[in-house]
Structure 1
Amino acid sequence: MPDAVLWDMDGTLVDTEPYWISAETDLVESFGHTWTYEDAMQLVGAGLWDSAETLRSHGVDLSADEIVSQLTGTVMDRITADGVPFRPGALELLTDLRTAGVRVALVTMSVRSMARHVVDRMDDDPFEVLITGDEVSRPKPHPDPYLRAAESLGVDIRRCVAIEDSRTGLASAVAAGTVAVAVPHAVSIPESDDHVVWPTLAGRTAQDIADLFAARRADAGVR
């Protein structure tokens, strides 16, 4: 088994990407401009303050902090009203990992209040560590969020598996040195020697994670 499994949140653990896209579209249109699906896809997995600057360039006349606050509040309101839309197989795999004694952390570019809003609506508090976008100086695709998660857990990042749904998040996980698993959702992710692509987490178990970790370590010539 790996020492830890590090989970992305939006699009990986929970299917909140439609909430974010709706919030972005409403915000841009409130300033009389247009926000397309293609525009929204450019922000999938990106840090919120980077996303805010992109929205400002599309005519949103607010500060980056105001944009982050408004978007986050809108998405949190949707979760409160509609519940947490978990991705297929995510909760089951998370439970199986914990049963197997594998430590888990959440590594998200959402702010801490948003991460807690999701985690507090789970049956228990599964994550030992939360690393959030408002607490790192360099967001994904930089390796910093994943490196900080491993440091907080006191484990070797090279003995961690990361699960991501976006190219930006995947780049962060690979750069940090994790065994990276891509589970594409809003955007496609091609096969690569740098990562493994699983079409879905449905049916995946802790043993699948262990087998993958062992195989990738063997390929790299590491025990």
Structure 2
Amino acid sequence: MPESTSPSPVTADDLDQAVRLAVGLLSQAPAAAWDAKAGSLEWDCWETVEHLSDDLFSYAAQLGSRTTPADGHVPFAWERRRPAGPANAIHADREAGPAGLTQVLEASGALLVAMVRTTPPEVRAHHIFGASDAEGFAAMGIVETLVHTHDLAEGLGLAWTPPAGMCSRVLARLFPDAPRATDPWPTLLWATGRAELPGHPRLTTWRWYGAPRS
């Protein structure tokens, strides 16, 4: 009988590793580089870390609320610090500098890791792309972390290549139609509209599918 080819689940440990790797990389950035544009985004690098922190925090909040409507978000007040900036509930104190900024990212990631570890598997929480479970939110948090760290690495002049196995697991969980015969990290960048992939047209729109796999 052939061996099962079912992908391994995405875990809280995967998410914890993704955040730790991102924080470690960003801690190497020179202090003067944070005003640079983050890759192809319209935000600077500081704003992009705040946005990523906000993603992780808000995912943790969605899992934590048992009274949130099935079709809505926990109603935090999201605010822009400038018209073209990201709308966040989480903002880092500028006076704390880059070290404080990465601490905000680390703490926000830890909140989501804790919620993924402790949320019962049958719990479903709202996301704009469909209700998902704790594993799905872990995978979403990893994708946000990996691809935004890619954006940041471009802006900060750093090299960034996350673990292939982690990329494979989140591709299987969130992007069921993505190619499987290509390298996982370039494929994840392609699936999120950030890169070309040989033999596949570059995506101009994209989304993931967070519904639990049966």
TM-score, normalised by the number of residues in structure 2: 0.29
Bigger fraction of residues in strand: 1
TM-score (normalised: structure 1): 0.28
